[in-house]
Structure 1
Amino acid sequence: MFRLAILALVALTPAVTAADTPKLLTWDDLASRAKPAPDATISYGDDHLQKVDLWLPAGPRPTGKRFPTVLMVHGGCWTTSIADRSLMNWVADDLRKAGYAVWNIDYRGVDRTGGGYPGTFQDAAKAADTLRDHARQYGLDTQHVVAIGHSAGGHLALWLAARSKLPADSPLHTARPLRIAHVISLGGLPDLEATAASPDNGCGTEVVGALLGKPTPGRPDIYRDTSVPRLLPLGMRQDLVNGQEDRIIPMRLATGYVAQAQKAGDSIALHVVPQTGHVELVTPDTAAWAKTRQLLAAALAQRHH
């Protein structure tokens, strides 16, 4: 499954030529590394994709304390055949070694039965909320959860943080969504309207229609409960990390969203990493991931104040 996913992702990555500088990482560069394994896998539904991988720091946690906790969301154009949660194994393992617990969620993509609207969103929401059910058992801190999402997962991470703003009549609305204190989006696609209007984005424009469905008389506005700008302000800090050489996610999708969030009054910053493409964002030992680690440490330091 993972090999097929990597092959699909390679198809989304424009070829690097000798004239290109710098030489960017490919998905095969990441996949060729020894693949670490999570500490536990937890089901939140009956489908084989309704799973969460839990990564825990080694050794006992300090008495009376809980592990700082990251909610992680993979990308892959909301399409399961392109990527699943295992794409994040390397960075999840890196965070585990650094002392963080990682709640790495999966969900049914648009190419799976039950995926699309509302299923993909409901899966992500239920996967996130299930963290609370296991927090005591595994020592997870639910008071200051930081969400990290990559690519399409950047959209879902921001959307998860926005769930308290969902219209009450939306099928995606829940009474008590998991509270997220901070979001770090890595080459994300937060604005679905802009993504659908950007044929140069690596996911293409048709996938947004597959994700959201077509407008109907009963649901004329398909973006009102799905596209993050419609739910602004989110009311928590947001950091966007984007590669200057990313050939999958056009930079304007980041700058456009930042402008909207700032206008709405949110605290948000865009961090552009030089000599960085899309793969570097989820690869340990890169400048992009070092930046994410720095932002994460700063975000979680706030829980002590």
Structure 2
Amino acid sequence: MSLSRRRLLIWLCLLLVPVSLGALRGSAQQNGAQVENDVSYGEAGGQKLLLDVYRPGGEAKTRPAVILVHGGGWSGGDKRDFEPYGRALARQGYVAFSVNYRLATKEGNKYPAQIDDVQRAVRWIRAHADTYGVDPNHIGALGASAGGHLVALLGTRDTRDNSDPALAKYSSRVQCVVDMFGPTDFTVQGPLSEQAMAILYNFIGKTPQEAPAVYREASPITYVDKNSAPFAIFHGTADPLVPIGQSQRLYDALQKAGVESSFTKFEGEGHGFQRPETNRQFALEALTFFNRHLKP
């Protein structure tokens, strides 16, 4: 459930397409991304939680932020997978935070470890907004596959674990969400491949029959209401791992609740986007969406 680094590099190039060549050269010279790797945003289960920060260069000022959440079936992937996204967003005037979270294994780190960590990251960003020049009221989220699932929860669900007094006053909600082919409703039985079912079992630790309430709790669609964040959803019609119906269900629920949302279907694309024209359209739509909701 992860994107290849090659596809991410394509996205990096395409994200900068809307900028004129002259402006792009100036941006690269004056506002190249400042990168800070392996910043600790907490500890959980005896594991240090780390993120990478990508900041615009040039004159310091308060900027909107985007949290980037990698895929990998909740059991793989790494924050460095989204380095091209982070650098590209920094060049567009955002402070980007690419986060690691606890990965599910056979032995542990089952749900809700992942959403607890990602929600902690958003709250940590707000707590350290002055340090990183972030506008705490303008934070967006982007995630792919399993990361799409987690950012969808950021846009729909309130803080699950509020046990850390240092973060108690900070919200984990984001102001907008870019969801790339993330699963959204685990209560729907089929059509799922054996691979998808195995990934889900490793993530939850039980079958849907054994723990229906947990599957419902882990589903972003459970929490959709009029207060949900605006969504931009992207999915390939030929996705063999996460059926496009998962995104359709989320979009329909958002529309019914009166939440601003869009759903872009890429004909013939699978789990991840291969064609340059698809990546170009995605990059333009995602950046336009972030600019509309995060740049006052």
TM score, norm. by length of structure 1: 0.74
Taking every aligned residue pair, what percent have the same amino acid on both sides? 24
**Per the alignment, do residues 200 and 288 of structure 1 end up closer, same or farther by CA in structure 2, a change over 3 Å counting?**
farther
1:52-98: CA deviation from partner (whole Å, max 9, x where unpaired) = 1111011222xxx4111111111111112xx1111111121111111
Superposed CA offset, 1:253-294 (max 9, x none): 11122112222332222012456444338x996332222112
Q: Taking structure 1 as reference, are residues 243 and 38 closer, same or farther at Cα in structure 2, changes over 3 Å only?
A: farther
Q: For residue 114 of structure 2, what is the aligned residue in structure 1?
A: 120
Kindly state the Cα deviation for residue 126 of structure 1 after the two structures are TM-superposed: 1.5
Superposition CA RMSD, Å:
3.5
From 19, 39, 42, the equivalent of 2:39 is 42
AA aligned opposite 2:59: P
Q: Find the aligned partners of 1:121 and 1:140 in 2 and give their Cα distance.
A: 22
| Letter of the 1:262 counterpart | Q
1:79 partner SS: coil
**Pair 1:49–1:74, CA change in 2 (3 A):** farther
1:242 and 2:238 are equivalent in the alignment: no
Are 1:270 and 2:267 matched, yes or no? no
CA distance 1:127–1:100, shift in 2 (3 Å) = same
- Give the number of the structure whose residues are more often strand, by fraction: 2
Residue 226 in structure 1 maps to residue 226 in structure 2? no
Q: Is residue 139 of structure 1 aligned with residue 142 of structure 2?
A: no
Check conservation: 1:49, 1:107, Cα contact below 8 A: no
3-state DSSP of counterpart to 1:148:
strand
Aligned counterpart, 2:143: 149
Structure 1 residue 39 displacement after superposition: 2.7
Task: List alignment gaps of at least 5 residues for structure 2.
Answer: 13-32, 163-167
Deviation at 1:223, TM superposition (A): 3.0
Candidates 205, 208, 217, aligned match of 2:200: 208
Is contact 1:40–1:53 with CA below 8 Å preserved after alignment?
yes
**DSSP-derived class of the 1:298 partner:** helix
> Contact 2:126/2:170 (CA < 8 Å) preserved in 1?
no
- CA distance in 1 between partners of 2:48 and 2:199 (Å): 19
Per the alignment, residue 74 of structure 1 pairs with 70
Change (3 A) 1:141 1:212: same
Q: Distance in 2 between matches of 1:205 and 1:71?
A: 28
What number of residue pairs does the alignment pair up?
A: 265
* SS in structure 2 of the partner of residue 116 of structure 1: coil
Amino acid at match of 2:120: K
Whole-angstrom CA distance in 1 between matches of 2:262 and 2:8: 30
Residues 278/250 of structure 1: CA separation in 2 closer, same or farther (3 Å cut): same
Q: Which amino acid aligns with 2:93?
A: G
Give the structure-2-normalised TM-score.
Answer: 0.76
In the TM superposition, what whole-angstrom CA distance separates every residue of 1:165-205 from its partner, at most 9, and x where no partner exists?
8699xxxxx774323111110111122223x633248x511
Measured against aligned partners, the alpha-carbon deviations of 1:184-233 in whole angstroms (never above 9, x if no partner) come to 10111122223x633248x51122222223389xx761134321111121
CA distance in 2, matches of 1:291, 1:273: 13
* Preserved CA contact (<8 Å) 1:245 1:277: yes
Consecutive aligned runs of 4 or more in structure 1 exceeding 4 Å deviation: 46-49, 165-168, 274-277
Please state if 1:88 is matched with 2:82.
Answer: yes
Q: Which amino acid aligns with 1:43?
A: S
Q: For structure 1, which runs of at least 5 residues remain unmatched after alignment?
A: 1-7, 10-25, 169-173
